[in-house]
Each structure stands twice: as C-alpha cells, then as structure tokens.
Structure 1
C-alpha cells in the first residue's frame, strides 16, 4: 500500500523529534558551559548582566596590534571581590511629564526612546549620552536612569550628572523646554549615585544585578545606579564598601572620562571623549542639538585626539610597561588642562640639532601617579621609552607638575576595550 502524505509527515515528525531528544542533553550542557563562562546563571543559562542592558550582548570588537604592543598594556587588578563606592561629585535631576521623551530626544546624543520601551524584553534601564551646544562642543556627559512612571503613566527619569555643571545644564535644558509638559526638579539630596565593580573572573552578584544597571561605557567598568539613601545603606551591608577614590582609580585605569574635569564645558568634541566607543552616541537617530558636527566627524573618520589613560614617572626611572597605580607617589600632579608636550627621543648623534617639541594634548584629571589626558593619537602611536628608544621617529612625553618644579614623564596607554585602533600617524602634522 502506498503511504499517504499524512503518514509520511507523521514519520518525518517522529524522526525529527527523536533526533532533537538525542541532541537535547548536549545542547543544554553546552549552553550551561557557555553561560558559566559568560557570567550567567548555571541553572537558567541566562546572562543576568545582559538582561539588564542589550548593549552588553554586543560581541567584543577589541583588536590586538603587534606594532603597538607596548601601548596596549594590561591593567593590573587586585582581587576579585565586588566593590561598592559612592560616585563623587554627582547631582541628580528628576525629569517627569508626558513630553519627557520628546524633550530629551532632541537634546542628547543617544536614543532615549529605548528607555520608554519598559515593557519590551531586555529594555535597558540606563542610557549614557552627552549634552552639546549648537556648535557641537560637549557641555556634559549624563546617565539617564528610568524610574517607575507617574500615576498617569508619564515617564519619570533621573539625570545623573556632575554636580559642578548641574546649574548651568539645568539652565540649558530650560531654554528648550518652553511649553513642554515637563517638570525638572533637583533631587540630589534624596539620592546617591553608586558604582559596583569587580574583576572579570568573578561570579555575578545577584544583589548588584537586581539593584543596579550595567554601565555601558566599557566591559569592565561595572554596574551603576541612582538609589535612595536607605537602599545605599542596604547595599553597603551586602557588598564591600570602599572609599570614593577607589572608583576614581578604577575609572581612570579603564581610560573612562567622566564629569566636569574630563569633559570641560564647551571645550571638546564628544568623539574626543570616546562617547562613540562608550555607546554614548546613536548615529541613526534624528536631529539633536550639536548633531551636525558630531555626525560629520564620525562619517569623515577623522578624530585626531582622544582621552587616554596615562602614568607619570620621574626622570631617571624606567617607563612602566603596565598601567599601575602607586598609592605612595609623592610628586604633585599637573594642574587641570596642563599642556602635555612631546619631543623626539635623544638622538644618537651628539651634533644633532634639538628639535622643537610639540603640544601633544591636555591633562584632565588624575590621582596618585595615574590620570587621563586628551592626546593627539599620532603622537601617542610614536611614544618611545627615552631610556631604551626603539624607533628613530619615537617621541617622549612630559608635563610640568602644578607647582612648576617637577617635570613628569608621561607614558600613554591605549585601552584594550577600544573597538578600533588609533588612526594612522600623520607625518605632516604641524608643529604646535
């Protein structure tokens, strides 16, 4: 008897089901192994960090460049325990009302509409972005935290910004508010801004992942949240609490700019502050204040300066291979926006005419013997240890301490989490 189509389909279905059942144990085991390697829950196979923010699911695009191996040095770590710190110099502004999304969408560099999609799976509770003036210069960096909506369903968000720029930024927002149904309230006294982090090898902490949101700026920066003082006290009981400066050290070691010192008002471009690398710019969203120059800079692909971490060391001492913080450093750091200069390494010829140095960039902030500076990438690529020069075209960098009495040598480092290498050196770079 010729088999009917129905019986054939049933046979195929039965064979497929049997195959799937045989493969299921292997699939579950592989998923559990992958979840464990990625910091997820072994029992569910879910990555708790990724469930807070879809940006954490983006595969890493970090590259290694043999030609600049000494610049791509490892950051030393000390231990794997979770740490919790209150972020210093932060203010909090509550933005609420039915026009909240429309107002902020036209003012910041990132797409805030994803915060309004609270009912969608994996909708983030935190967005990182920047405010710019009409000329495309940064006014401030900002974290936007989604909160429970108002009783009428209108959005209620918290802006996590530097307290030193809060008054001027509020005035800037109010210029565009006009008749928008938006209420702005300074609630800095009601909340604390906290950051939790650990080494990459540590297991996820349920307290952290439930109370805080994944910080999208770089893979190792940790979790961030705006919490009430009561919640902050509870977190301190469950997570090792450390001094504020420990977060500053951690952030600088990752090469992450933050606040009024690293982002001086109307003085730099968002891409110079690595907002594109730190998921702080959406190049597909519509118009916003400062968008034209930001988009043009991105599409031309020319970013000559960027914020990089650096380490200071004294004349006569070897250049550090690894970015390390020395809490015993006694020298005075440079003044804010002090000029970092570069010059060719000592020539092998005693009769060689000394070349005039160049302005490499400006120092923004630091602690102990480490800091951040906005440096010209062409010169960063040419950095060479003057005590052991490896290139005839190499440069050494230095900056004066704040009192002007000490010359500090500078070793720049390129963060390994950067998704792209620095642009090629420009040999026609003019003297400055």
Structure 2
C-alpha cells in the first residue's frame, strides 16, 4: 500500500516554526513523530505562519506517493472579473415610511415586489425608467434595496445619471407632497460600479455580497452602489479597469444608459429597450407615463429602437463582427446627429447622389462604436455598399463632428434580444 500522510495539527507545526514549503524536508530529515505532528485523520492542515505567502492556504491530505500534501491555490476567478466605476452616475438616498408607495407610482417597474422579496437569493435591485405624464422618458434608474432604518422604515438608493440628477430630484419632489419620504444626494459617499467577465467563471463571494446581478442582459454583469471602503475590497478581488472599459462593454451589448442615450423627454421607454431589459412591469398598475407605455406594448408598434453600430470609412469593407478598434482616428458624430440611409444602387449610379432619408439619431459612442435610435425597417434592409446583396438594400451614413467626414454605419441587432424586431408595415418618416 502507498503510505498516506495523516492530516496535520496546525498548532504543532506553528510551534515548530514550520512553513508549508519546509514540511517535506522536515518530515524527511527530522522524522517528526506522528504523535507530535499529527492529529486525527479528519483534521485539515492550516499553517498559521506569516513567513510564507502560502501559509494561510488550506491544504488537504492526498494519497499520491510523489506528493503527500496538495494545496488548493487561491481561485483565479477574481482576476477574470473586471471592475469599473460607471461614469457620470450619482446616488440618491430615499428613505421613510412612504418610500415604496412614492416610487411605485413614479417608475415603470414593480418596486413593491422588490420590497417584499425575502428569499436569501432574491434580487436586491430593479431596473426602471422615470417618465413624464406624456410617456416620454426622463431618465433610466437602478433602485437598490438597502438595510432599513432603525425604526424599520425602508431605505433605498437610486443609481441615476449625475447630469440629470437635479432635475429628477425636482420631478420627484413634485409628487412627494406630504409623504413621509426623505431625499438626499449621497453621490459623494458612494460609487456606482459594474463588474463583468468574458469567461464562464463564477464571481467571488465578495463580489456577489456587494453587487447584484444586472437584469438588463445576460452578459452585462453585476452592478452596485458601494461605499469607498467596499470599493477598495472589491478592487482587491477583481481586475480594476478604467471607466471607458465599461462604456465599451456596454455599447458592445447594445445597452443604452444615461443622459446621452436617454435624452430627457425625447423618447419612449420601449424605444430604449426597457421592455427587453426587464425595466417595465406591464401588470403593476398605474404610474406616471403608464398609459402610453402600455398602449405601445399592447399594439406591438415600435418603429425604432436603440441598436449598437459600428463606424467605418467609405471605400473600406464593412466589419464582419461588432468589435472595438482603439486605433480609430476619425471624429465621432455630434450628439443626436442624424443618421441617413439611401439605396445602395443610387449610391453607385452616375447621377448626383441623393441625401437619403432619415434613419434615426446617434446618441453616444467611443472609438469606432456607437449607439443610435434607428428605424427597424431600415436596419433590416442594411446592406454593405461594397458588396450589395439586395436590390432593396440600404447603406447608412452620418457626418462626423467636424462636418467634413462621412462615416458609414453598420447597425447590429443584439443577440440577447428576446425576439426579432417587428417594425410596422407602414413606417412614416419624420
């Protein structure tokens, strides 16, 4: 039979000054007796010494003749998870007896369901939108459930764009009236962070304790509003990256966020994909802007939506896949620049090229990537101008910020969308 080294008593080893790397030599040269070194076979080895970085790693007994002790190394999963502060986000603390009632009547998702969730792994946040009475979006918001106050009153943190925070606070106060609710801007005390991974490895327990699964799409990651102390601990467990890395990750998923993608009172929640991103509960009842949102959903007529797009220069083939090109040198379009489309056949004709018709508006971008609210009928007809595949195909373009460069546009339909877009048969132009 192959000899098996029994599990070892940590106190005896610590008293002997042994470290993990010294253990095989000690056993061979000093021939420490089992009575002095070893405890019961079920005892695990935990070396409590500060002289070796591996000394705090738990070890198990193994029956391999070549190596009697095999230690489990610290998981590398943390390094596979990236962590970034979300740019241009602020935090508002909402607390008091009437907090749930107030928020339930103002946002598109079901806050009561979040408040009543008591399961150990129940979601700790919801994604939603604030609308004006006409059903136009004012802002997107994450509502994070927090520990209640000492008197048992609920306490929540709103994760919203810092550029619209003052106007949104004024909007909420219009409906607060005499409600027992306190609103406080706590942006200086907290940071909004996002964690994600391109690998299939699970997140660390520290990450899941501090952050919650982002419901917007399967690959967007985890999100949270954390204190400065908690942020330091999270950075120890993950690969901390610059803010722009999250922007790139978000645009690659086709996720609209913040004041640029959701300009105040300019778009409908379904045009910003709130229905696809689990940001609307169509059964919760009345809230500000609910009537138009429900009617749009039940009629099924959504003519345009936010989609990710890629810019490329005329004379070059359209990119096959959506990816970031950090070497891109051209200027991006200005905010809400008009994206236009025209038939590929007309573009190649000898006649003076037509200006084309409006396809939508550019909202935000970085490097060669962007987001735009485009007409779905035209997105489905997009064709690479250098390799037309349909006589009915369209090419899309937009002017750069300097007004001198025409950028070609390739739109993409995100893979996580729950269903193919179904634009209306008759798509009127603006």
Secondary structure in 1 matching 2:388: coil
1:189 aligns with 2:188: yes
1:127 aligns with 2:122: no
2: CA distance, partners of 1:200 / 1:220: 10
The answer on whether the counterparts of 1:132 and 1:290 sit within 8 Å (CA) in structure 2 is yes
2: CA distance, partners of 1:173 / 1:315: 47
TM-superposed CA distance for 1:347, in Å, is 4.9
The answer on whether the counterparts of 2:346 and 2:354 sit within 8 Å (CA) in structure 1 is no
The answer on whether the counterparts of 1:200 and 1:220 sit within 8 Å (CA) in structure 2 is no
The aligned counterpart of 1:176 is 175
Question: Structure 1 residues 351, 401: CA separation in 2 closer, same or farther (over 3 Å shift)?
Answer: closer
Deviations 1:8-65 (A, max 9, x none): xxxxxxxxxxxxxxxxxxxxxxxxxxxxxxxxxxxxxxxxxxxxxxxxxxxxxxxxxx
The answer on whether the counterparts of 2:303 and 2:424 sit within 8 Å (CA) in structure 1 is no
1: CA distance, partners of 2:301 / 2:424: 12
The answer on whether the counterparts of 1:381 and 1:425 sit within 8 Å (CA) in structure 2 is no
TM-superposed CA distance for 1:358, in Å, is 1.0
Counting only pairs closer than 5 Å after superposition, residues 61-100 of structure 1 correspond to structure 2 as 81-100=80-99
Secondary structure in 2 matching 1:362: strand
The aligned counterpart of 2:237 is 238
The aligned counterpart of 2:151 is 152
The aligned counterpart of 1:205 is 204
Question: Structure 1 residues 149, 195: CA separation in 2 closer, same or farther (over 3 Å shift)?
Answer: same
Counting only pairs closer than 5 Å after superposition, residues 24-423 of structure 1 correspond to structure 2 as 81-347=80-346, 350=349, 357-423=356-422
* TM-score, normalised via structure 1 length: 0.79
2: CA distance, partners of 1:98 / 1:348: 63
Deviations 1:356-412 (A, max 9, x none): 511000000000000100000000000000110000000000000011010000000
1: CA distance, partners of 2:372 / 2:287: 28
The answer on whether the counterparts of 1:141 and 1:161 sit within 8 Å (CA) in structure 2 is yes
The aligned counterpart of 1:429 is 427
- Which moved further from structure 2: 113-122 or 92-101? 113-122
TM-superposed CA distance for 1:201, in Å, is 2.2
1: CA distance, partners of 2:424 / 2:407: 25
TM-superposed CA distance for 1:210, in Å, is 1.8
TM-superposed CA distance for 1:207, in Å, is 2.2
> What is the RMSD computed on CA atoms of the aligned residues?
1.7
- Which moved further from structure 2: 228-237 or 158-167? 228-237
2: CA distance, partners of 1:302 / 1:185: 39
1: CA distance, partners of 2:403 / 2:355: 20
TM-superposed CA distance for 1:196, in Å, is 0.2
2: CA distance, partners of 1:386 / 1:303: 27
* TM-score, normalised via structure 2 length: 0.79
The answer on whether the counterparts of 2:302 and 2:424 sit within 8 Å (CA) in structure 1 is no
TM-superposed CA distance for 1:234, in Å, is 1.2
2: CA distance, partners of 1:93 / 1:164: 13
Kindly report structure 1 stretches of 4+ aligned residues shifted beyond 4 Å.
Answer: 347-356
TM-superposed CA distance for 1:429, in Å, is 3.3
**Structure 1: tracts of 5 or more residues without a match:** 1-79
Secondary structure in 1 matching 2:188: helix
The answer on whether the counterparts of 2:331 and 2:401 sit within 8 Å (CA) in structure 1 is yes
The aligned counterpart of 2:66 is none
Secondary structure in 1 matching 2:184: strand
TM-superposed CA distance for 1:346, in Å, is 2.6
2: CA distance, partners of 1:348 / 1:363: 22
Secondary structure in 2 matching 1:388: coil
Question: Structure 1 residues 258, 424: CA separation in 2 closer, same or farther (over 3 Å shift)?
Answer: closer
Structure index of larger Rg: 2
2: CA distance, partners of 1:408 / 1:339: 12
2: CA distance, partners of 1:350 / 1:142: 48
Question: Structure 1 residues 380, 349: CA separation in 2 closer, same or farther (over 3 Å shift)?
Answer: closer
Question: Structure 1 residues 327, 286: CA separation in 2 closer, same or farther (over 3 Å shift)?
Answer: same
Question: Structure 1 residues 350, 126: CA separation in 2 closer, same or farther (over 3 Å shift)?
Answer: closer
TM-superposed CA distance for 1:154, in Å, is 0.6
